[in-house]
Amino acid sequence: MIGEFIQNITGGNVYLLLFGVFLIFYLDAMVLTILPEVLILFFFASRPETVPIFTWMVVLLFMAIIGDVGGNYTVYLLFKKVKRYHNLVHDMLRKYVGMLVLKDEKLILLNRVAPALPMCGAFMAACNWNVKRSLFYIFAGGAVKYSVILFLFGFLDWIYPTDTAFWITFISVGVFLVISFFLGRRERKRLMAIEETNK
């Protein structure tokens, strides 16, 4: 059964499961790219039988968003505090954003569809974006994106066996990630071509 592996690691402990979700999204926002869109499906599939499916969905969504916002805010604070790192990449990040169509906090929302900003917190600091607005966009973008994933899984789980629902959602998310990857890659190539032309 999908989710058994995670249940075995955590012993089915609800608090460990939720901490795992928070940690994945926190680390993903800070440094790592660990496909949280996929991993959250495994945590959803490992729902304890005593927890209603809608409750589990809402709690997972809450932990994911808190981890996402917390990780990005941590990067923002570190970037502001560590002056050597700040000075090293400050101009580079600002130059990169300057080549994009959007040049403010709205880039965070676009990033949910076509990833172009790794570690949004660093861009928040380098570009002097409004912190509250940036964190709200991270919150709102994450809420929409992960709600769609979880509700899709939840709806399919209501119709099909959990394993079948998992794989349909998994494939759907995989297709979305592949399309997002190529959109982001194409945009980066376009920006690199523009930069080469301007040299």
Q: Which residue is listed with tokens 């997002």?
A: 180
Query: What are the CA-CA distances from residue 127 to residues 59, 76, 107, 112, 173 (Å)?
Result: 33, 11, 12, 19, 31
pTM, whole model, 2 decimals?
Answer: 0.80
CB atoms within 10 A of CB 162: 17
Range of the domain at 120: 4-198
What tens-digit pLDDT sequence spans the chain (199 residues)?
Answer: 555 656 666 666 788 888 888 988 998 888 767 678 888 888 888 888 888 888 999 999 999 999 999 999 998 998 887 765 556 676 667 776 666 656 678 888 877 776 667 778 888 888 888 999 999 999 999 899 899 999 999 898 889 888 888 899 989 988 887 887 777 667 666 655 665 565 5
Upper half-sphere CA count for residue 189 (Cβ side, 13 Å): 6
pLDDT of residue 137: 92
pLDDT of residue 17: 84
For residue 133, what are its two tokens?
A: 């607005």
Q: How far apart are CA 43 and CA 164, in angstroms?
A: 16
How many structural domains comprise the chain?
1
pLDDT of residue 117: 73
Chain-centre distance for alpha carbon 197: 33
pLDDT of residue 147: 93
